[in-house]
Structure 1
């Protein structure tokens, strides 16, 4: 990945991550938790979602130490209080699912644009289709990555909702193991 590709990557990934995080806050708000709204995070404004380390410094650092072969970034997670949700069992899963669902919806919207344009008749149209294709790809990758059932990813919230109450030890182990691995 050359430096131009890294910049291009940020033009796609940052808005996709913002849409993802906004969807979490919006779903929590719809389910009764105003935490994100009160914190000023129920917004599409990039400034409230960009984490200086995770969105800017880490990806640039990884780009340079890996020789341009690896980049990873993240946005600031939108806060929510699961105890404010109307449904204590399924609410956190719905909040968790909202982010990946927003990424899939974004990918579908841009796929429809690609399909509507059809066969490119000029290099300009080809460039637009290529850009839209990258948006589709990036959003599908974000959705799949976030659906992994590993805390603190969104998939863990979904997993916890489908586990029986008797499996609380599994939840405790996963939380303890992964949070300590990431710490």
Structure 2
């Protein structure tokens, strides 16, 4: 069944909200576990999506990329983390940063389970859930792969900073002030899609083949 543009937005809305909410909450929970309570004090360790929504990055830009058929791109309000409060700041940064992409991997598996359960549902509800399950799988893989790119302020950049020698880590961390601009340029020039789309497609096929 071919979806209209409105149907496509509806199908992607719930998976996208869940993906960004769980991603950001995971960072907050991990930071708290390793000793930083900043996110908790600011009320950001929550599964309430409205606490994490950025109007431009969570609503307008993802909707635009879906409508234009490009690589899904967007962001949420980042959960505040004071890395100095972590018990072992550099080492613990690795786990706090990894928590977000790891949560998206688990959410991708969740949506494949939803797809599997459609075998036991009435045909009238199957088509919609199949489209939503595939959207959920895709959204979470996009967020996971995108965030694992080794460039601050993305999670992959923070992971790289946490494992590199101090001199190299400092040099990489200086990229953060330009990171968002670099991402936007890569997206609009099509380079971002060329980098991450093959990885996303391969992971998608692997997960579907494994769990379906």
The interval holding the TM-score normalised by the smaller chain is 0.7 to 0.9
Stretch moving more, 29-38 or 1-10: 1-10
Structure 2's unaligned 5+ residue stretches are 185-212
CA deviation after TM superposition for structure 1 residue 41, in Å: 0.7
Q: Tell me what 1:55 maps to.
A: 58
Task: Say if 1:123 and 1:31 are closer, same or farther in 2 by CA, change over 3 A.
Answer: same
Task: Say if 1:69 and 1:118 are closer, same or farther in 2 by CA, change over 3 A.
Answer: closer
Stretch moving more, 30-39 or 48-57: 48-57
Structure 1's unaligned 5+ residue stretches are none
Preserved contact between residue 114 and residue 129 of structure 2 (Cα < 8 Å) = no
What is the DSSP-based 3-state SS (H/G/I as helix, E as strand, rest coil) of the residue aligned with 1:12? helix
- TM-score normalised per structure 2: 0.73
Q: Tell me what 1:96 maps to.
A: 97
CA deviation after TM superposition for structure 1 residue 142, in Å: 1.1
Q: Tell me what 1:144 maps to.
A: 145
| Alpha-carbon distance between aligned partners in 2 of 1:117 and 1:59, rounded to the nearest angstrom | 27
Q: Within 5 Å, which residues of 2 pair with 1:1-183?
A: 2-60=5-63, 62=64, 68-70=68-70, 72-118=73-119, 122-178=123-179, 181=182
Preserved contact between residue 152 and residue 172 of structure 2 (Cα < 8 Å) = no
Preserved contact between residue 2 and residue 68 of structure 1 (Cα < 8 Å) = no
Could you report, residue by residue, the CA deviation over 1:32-71 in whole angstroms, capped at 9, with x for unpaired residues? 10000000111111221111222234445x45xx963345
More helix by share: 2
Q: How many residues were matched structurally?
A: 180
| Alpha-carbon distance between aligned partners in 2 of 1:109 and 1:59, rounded to the nearest angstrom | 21
| Alpha-carbon distance between aligned partners in 2 of 1:124 and 1:156, rounded to the nearest angstrom | 41
Task: Say if 1:118 and 1:58 are closer, same or farther in 2 by CA, change over 3 A.
Answer: closer
Aligned Cα root-mean-square deviation (Å):
2.7
CA deviation after TM superposition for structure 1 residue 131, in Å: 1.9
CA deviation after TM superposition for structure 1 residue 109, in Å: 2.4
| Alpha-carbon distance between aligned partners in 2 of 1:181 and 1:73, rounded to the nearest angstrom | 14
